[in-house]
Amino acid sequence: MGQRVLRYGDRGHDVRVLQDFLQRAGYWTKITGYYGPGTKKRVAEFERAHGFKPDGILWIPVEKRLRAVVAYKDAPHGSLRINSDGTGTAPANSPNAVLKMVAAANRIHTTYYCYAGGHGSWNDSCYDCSGSVSYVLHAAGLLPYPEDSTELESFGSPGKGKWVTIYANANHTWIVIAGRAFDTADYGGPDIPGGSGPRWRSDPTGNLQDGQSYIIRHPNGL
């Protein structure tokens, strides 16, 4: 999308992308790959709402504005809140997968640390670092079985995500969700919460201060 002006009667993958972006911006449009009357109507509605001539044609300036609106909607509006009981509350605009991850983390945030915890069974009484990260990813349907920290070095896509980032090396791993770390308390670093098992931490990259290098990954789309 953006390689050509799109208008009524056009077909193609870029039309499908447009229809997907319209949906994400709050203008429901059936994704067909055909720029029919419904798509034209939604484009005109978007144009009218953003000060463009509502002609139902996706001119390049309109396309750029649509991308900016979707990028804003997709980005976290504020960081996850760590509550007084140690649980986390996700930002209001969080995707469903993020809500599932936060709920999963909250279910195990009072457990204690044990080596290989969470690798023999998803529902364990104790979790190690990779077991807790795997548990959270599994709850969102992103991981079919537990992985150790070395395996998590190749999870998903490289680099930081908008919503979720995983730091992993051969010795340790943790996950950052909406700006807050979910990390095992026994590993140390700043802002250490009570207990030994997985806990929410306000400093998302505190353990980078341990002098080790980490591979940075993120779930596709997040």
What count of other Cβ atoms lies within 10 Å of the Cβ of residue 183?
29
Q: Which residues of 86-111 are buried (b: 16+ CB within 10 A; e: fewer)?
A: ebbebbeebbebbebbbebbbebbeb
pLDDT in tens, the chain (222 residues): 999 999 999 999 999 999 999 998 999 999 999 999 999 999 999 999 999 999 999 999 999 999 999 888 888 889 999 999 999 999 989 999 999 999 999 999 999 999 999 999 999 999 999 999 999 999 999 999 999 999 999 999 999 999 999 999 999 999 999 999 999 998 877 777 889 999 999 999 888 878 889 999 999 989
Checking 69-72 for CB contacts under 8 A at 24+ apart, the result is: 69/25, 70/21, 70/24, 70/25
In 3-state terms, what secondary structure has residue 218? strand
Following DSSP, what letter does each residue of 71-90 receive, concatenated?
A: HHHHS-SSPPEEPTTS-EE-
Return d(Cα 98, Cα 33) in angstroms, integer. Answer: 29
Q: Say if pTM beats, i.e. exceeds, 0.85.
A: no
- Render pLDDT for 45-80 as a digit per residue (tens, 0 to 9): 999 999 999 999 999 999 999 999 988 888 888 999
Return d(Cα 137, Cα 141) in angstroms, integer. Answer: 7
Burial-class residue 77 by CB neighbours within 10 Å (0-12, 13-18, 19+).
exposed
Q: Which domains does the chain have, with CATH numbers?
A: 13-74 (1.10.101), 81-218 (3.90.1720.10)
- Phi/psi at 32 (nearest 5 deg)? -125, -20
- Render pLDDT for 128-143 as a digit per residue (tens, 0 to 9): 999 999 999 999 999 9
